[in-house]
Amino acid sequence: MSDKTAQERDFLSGKKIGGKNPFFLIAGPCVMENRDLLDRVCAEMVEITTELGIPYVFKSSFDKANRSSVTSYRGPGIVEGVKNLEFIKQKYNVPVLTDIHETSQVGPLKDVIDMYQIPAFLSRQTDLIAESAKTGKWVNVKKGQFLAPSDCRHIKTKIQESGSEKYMVTERGTTFGYGNLVFDGRTVPILHSYDIPVVFDATHSAQLPGAAGNITGGQREYIPSMTRSAVALGIEGIFMEVHPDPSKALSDATTQYPLSEIKSLLKELVGLDRYVKQEILNR
């Protein structure tokens, strides 16, 4: 169990994160396959998170620029992506997040999204991080699989020097040899020691990069146990990609979590989260 959590701070939609506050959830389909999929997933996630009292942020990608194969589906592009996110935000009144890969994508998204997400492979790209931070939006940086937790303090500094205090880092496993990732629980207390809110990426941490030839493999069966471990460390948020039929997903088919199973897992995690944060902060 971690010795501390990140300090309490204002979040989205009047919520707070850090301290004893409950974890928030970033969830949605990996990539924007079609609007009907986004609509279905968001509708169910809003119902579930409202019932369980979990602050919710909808996520989906308009472009998966780091696919293993050049022939893999990448998404509809930024123009259609903006329209999709506007549709979700207006219909369900939820904060929305998407990932970006170039500084030119910051501007077109500024008036639509509530959080920018920096992909793990771009976690050291200063211009991308700085331009996102200058918008005044939250910036969620995926910790590179190659990056030591202590080096994430530089990410925080880049965002602060861009005039923002809205930063968080997502842990998604560390490269362990070829084709394997390992979640190192020491990451959470290390990031907390720099007062960085921590999100645990429950689905990408189960990936086996390149293990399926020209696509990324994964071990979905370990998602619940790894997420329980992360919640037991007092994290501020959870990231999960969810799909009604993961086997037919156009991206990350081996690790997206079944939409039909997520409620039972979240109910368990909510109870664990409440217990752990009370224990940490009552010491």
What was the pLDDT predicted at 1? 46
* Domain membership flag for residue 127: yes
* Per-position DSSP letters for 44-81, written without gaps between them: HHHHHHHHHT--EEEE-BS--TT-SSTTS---S-HHHH
Q: Is the dihedral of CA 186, 128, 122, 25 positive or negative?
A: positive
The chain-wide mean pLDDT, for the chain, equals 94
Number of domains in the chain: 1
pLDDT above 70 as % of the chain: 96
Q: What confidence tier does 21 reach under pLDDT thresholds 50, 70, 90?
A: very high
pLDDT value at 86 more than 50:
yes
* Domain membership flag for residue 4: no
Q: pTM for the whole thing?
A: 0.95
Both tokens of 150, joined, read: 């202590």
The residue range of the domain holding 33 is 9-281
pLDDT value at 215 more than 70:
no
What was the pLDDT predicted at 70? 80
What was the pLDDT predicted at 211? 54
* Domain membership flag for residue 3: no
d(CA 137, CA 98): 12
For residues 212-220, give the mean pLDDT.
74
Query: What would the pLDDT profile of 173-191 be if each residue is shown by its tens digit?
Result: 999 988 899 999 999 999 9
* Domain membership flag for residue 172: yes
* Domain membership flag for residue 186: yes
* Domain membership flag for residue 1: no
The type of residue at 172 is R
d(CA 155, CA 143): 9
Both tokens of 273, joined, read: 């989260």
Query: What would the pLDDT profile of 87-136 be if each residue is shown by its tens digit?
Result: 999 999 999 999 999 999 999 999 999 999 999 999 999 999 999 999 99
**With contact defined as beta carbons under 8 Å apart, do 131 and 153 qualify?**
no
Query: What would the pLDDT profile of 36-71 be if each residue is shown by its tens digit?
Result: 999 999 999 999 999 999 999 999 999 988 766 787
* Domain membership flag for residue 249: yes
* Domain membership flag for residue 155: yes
What was the pLDDT predicted at 209? 83
